[in-house]
Amino acid sequence: MFLDELVITDKFGGTIRTVKFKKGLNLILGISDKKGTTNNIGKTTLIRCIDFCLGGKIDQIYMDKEFKNKNINVYDFLQKNQPSFQLKIKDDLASESITHTISRTIYFDNNKIKSTDAIIAHGNNVEFKDFNTELKKIFFDSTSQKPTFRELIAKFIRKDDQQVSNVLNYVSPYTSAAVYEKIHLFLFGFSFDGILQKKNDIEKKLKKNTDVLDMLRSQFDIKDLIQILNILKKDLRELTQKRDEFKIDEKYELEEEELKDIQIRLMSIEKNISDLQLKKAISETQRDNIQKDFFTQDIGSLKLMYEEVKFYTENMHKSFEEVVAFHNKMLKNELNYTLNKIKQYNADLSKLAHNRQIIAKKYSDILKRLSKTGSLAEYTKLNEQIEKISEKRGRTEQQIEDIQKNQKLCDDLKTELQNIVNQIDQKLVYFDEKLAKFNSFFTSYSKKLYDQEFFLSYKQDNDIIKFSIKDMNGNEGPGKKQAIISAFDLAYINFINALNLKFPKFSAIDKVEIVDVDKLSQLFDISNEIKGQLIIPIIYDKIENIYKKYEKDSIITLSESNKFFKF
């Protein structure tokens, strides 16, 4: 996708500014005033207007990001004119047809600055639920939720310090390594198919079930429990055999059968009690973890998440304090649900314990009746021993069953996880081929500029793929970093052309004045050789000696008498 034209009109339809873009180098030229400054003429405003059209925040147009001051003149201009910004996009600059027109109109509602958004495709209005989601479909041919459009487009519009000072980590200082993993893999052609999200979901399930398994095996592992169960079965067989061989009168045979029935019922109750006690223990652990997650004094991690969302969201209606309150409310709801489960488990355990007490009393009463007959004293003692061992056997069998069930679940999850890891490794083989294609352009440009071969690399760190820029000779200075960023972005345009990816084929970069003029000239030459667009604000004084060579590449000249918004 190429930028074709930006048209800014006032609320009456009058044209304020039209900027026509071209293939190759696009210079935004700033002419110094008598004091030698180009401040407040709008040299960077064009880039900010492009970003605004692509879902960026309104306040970047009238706010000084460094000093947090409102430019009153620009703000008053916006309030008076309530301008419309129309960014026209083409698939091919040689074509006469406009593929898409992205329109955002500023208006004021109760002194609050807002915008209405519209997209026109081939002359027809496009209906959409979410503006940025539709933009991602247009510019990246993707409808996936992650990475977001604003996370991706930040690489193509470098206007703030974070973006112009970092080749790869250009989104915001609050963006996590996991988010950057998805951004970089997406940009360099990794085929997702939801595979990373599946991996993340399985890892969470595996962690939860592993914790349960560790709890079950905290005292004995399954081998120990099997040995214990075998011993209990042996003891129970011996005692049962003795009892069965015991000769009693026929009048006591009915009580003997009832005792056997009660023992079976008691074993069943013990298994159920053991199962509920395990579930209660798991819920109590969840309760403790939820209580730890409440934000009171230490709210640093939530602050980072809030700032990241705020970075991308134009109209953040909730304050940080409200976000904290909402977070704690959600945790409270989850806590209440867990506490209710624990309460229900306690009630069920109490009911089972009561039933066990009733049945055990009945068992005891029968034994007492039998024990009054002297000849049955030994028989009664045998039954008491059988009862105790039967209860322990029931608990042990339940524990073994729980361990086996959770072990199988963990094994199945590990198998599923390994299959996904194998799929990722297989995809990374093809991904490496794509990365090699990019590096063929990147190393060529960096060698041409500095006689050093920079390249893009990655490694897996704690299951997260992290990307980095490497060279053979150590760290680069700020001026070199700026030029390398430009070389990186131009190499990326060559890369997406080579792979025929439907991605943006433009790069807008601010603050290139610190790059040496001879390196600027080389960058300008490279940008005019590729099938893409490099948009750069530059002070005329910086390139005065080479300006004649690139005069044809100037798309707009700004000065004290010709400011961007013409006021």
pLDDT digits (tens, 9 = 90+) for 187-239: 988 766 667 667 778 887 888 888 888 888 888 888 998 999 999 999 989 88
Helix (H) or strand (E) holding 284: helix 253-293
- What gap in Å lies between CA 351 and CA 355, rounded to an integer? 6
What pLDDT sits at residue 484?
81
Q: Quick check: 333 pLDDT over 80?
A: yes
| Whole-number Å distance between alpha carbons of 56 and 149 | 10
How does residue 479 score in pLDDT terms, banded at 50, 70 and 90? Answer: very low
Please give the average per-residue pLDDT across 46-58, as a whole number: 94
Percent of the chain with pLDDT over 70: 86
Counting other chains too, the contacts that 314-317 makes at CB distance below 8 Å and 24 or more residues apart are 314/55, 314/56, 314/57, 314/58, 314/115, 315/114
Q: Taking residues 272-298, what's their average pLDDT?
A: 74
3-class secondary structure, 460: strand
Looking at residue 499, its amino acid is L
Q: In the structure, what pLDDT confidence band is assigned to residue 505 with cuts at 50, 70 and 90?
A: very high
How many C-beta atoms surround the C-beta of residue 385 within 10 A?
Answer: 15
Task: Please choose, from the candidates 4, 46, 10, the residue with its C-alpha nearest in 3D space to the C-alpha of residue 23.
Answer: 4
Cβ neighbours of residue 16 closer than 8 Å, sequence gap 6 or more = 8, 9, 10, 81, 83, 565, 566
Give me the pLDDT at residue 220, please. Answer: 85
Radius of gyration (C-alpha) of the chain in whole angstroms: 36
Contact call for residues 239 and 231 (beta carbons, < 8 A): no
pLDDT band (50, 70, 90) for residue 429: confident
Tokens of 166: 């970092």
| pLDDT above 90 coverage of the chain, percent | 31
Place of tokens 């977001």: 148
Helix (H, G, I), strand (E, B) or coil at 496: helix
pLDDT at 535: 95
Say what the pLDDT of residue 312 is: 42
pLDDT band at 308 (very low <50, low <70, confident <90, very high): very low
CB-based burial of residue 35 (10 Å sphere; 0-12 exposed, 13-18 middle, 19+ buried)? Answer: exposed
pLDDT at 55 over 50: yes
Q: What is the pLDDT of residues 349-393, one digit of tens each?
A: 889 888 888 888 887 777 676 665 554 566 667 777 888 888 888
Cα gap 478→511, rounded to integer Å: 11
The one-letter code for the residue type at 46 is L
How far apart CA 259 and CA 264 sit, in angstroms, is 9
> Does 298 score more than 60 pLDDT?
no
Q: Using omega within 30 degrees of 0 as the cis cutoff, is the peptide bond preceding 83 cis?
A: no
pLDDT greater at residue 290 or residue 52: 52
Task: Please answer whether residues 180 and 467 qualify as being in contact, where contact means their C-beta atoms are separated by less than 8 angstroms.
Answer: yes
pLDDT higher than threshold 60 for residue 63: yes
CB of 267 within 8 A of CB of 391? yes
Best CA proximity match to 494, nearest among 467, 523, 535, 529: 529
Q: Which tokens is 301 given?
A: 């991690």
pLDDT tens, position by position, 114-159: 999 999 998 888 888 889 999 999 999 888 877 889 999 999 999 8
Specify the pLDDT at position 297: 43
Q: What is the DSSP string of 345-363?
A: HHHHHHHHHHHHHHHHHHH
- Of the candidates 283, 264, 262, 272, the one whose C-alpha atom is nearest the C-alpha of residue 353 is 272
The size of the chain, in residues, is 567
Which DSSP string do the residues of 469-522 spell out, in sequence order?
EE-SS----HHHHHHHHHHHHHHHHHHHHHHT--S--EEEE---TTS-HHHHHH
pLDDT of 371 = 60
Q: What is the DSSP letter of 31?
A: -
Phi, psi (degrees; rounded to nearest 5) at 104: -135, 125
Q: Do the Cβ atoms of 8 and 85 come closer than 8 Å?
A: yes
The pLDDT of residue 270: 80
* Stronger pLDDT, 409 or 302, i.e. the higher one: 409
Q: What is the mean pLDDT of the chain?
A: 83
Supply the pLDDT for residue 84. 95
Q: What is the pLDDT of residue 443?
A: 92
Number of alpha carbons in the 13 Å side-chain half-sphere of residue 394: 19
d(CA 517, CA 522): 9
Angle at Cα 163 formed by Cα 158 and Cα 169, nearest 5°?
135
> Is residue 309 scored above 60 in pLDDT?
no
DSSP 562: B
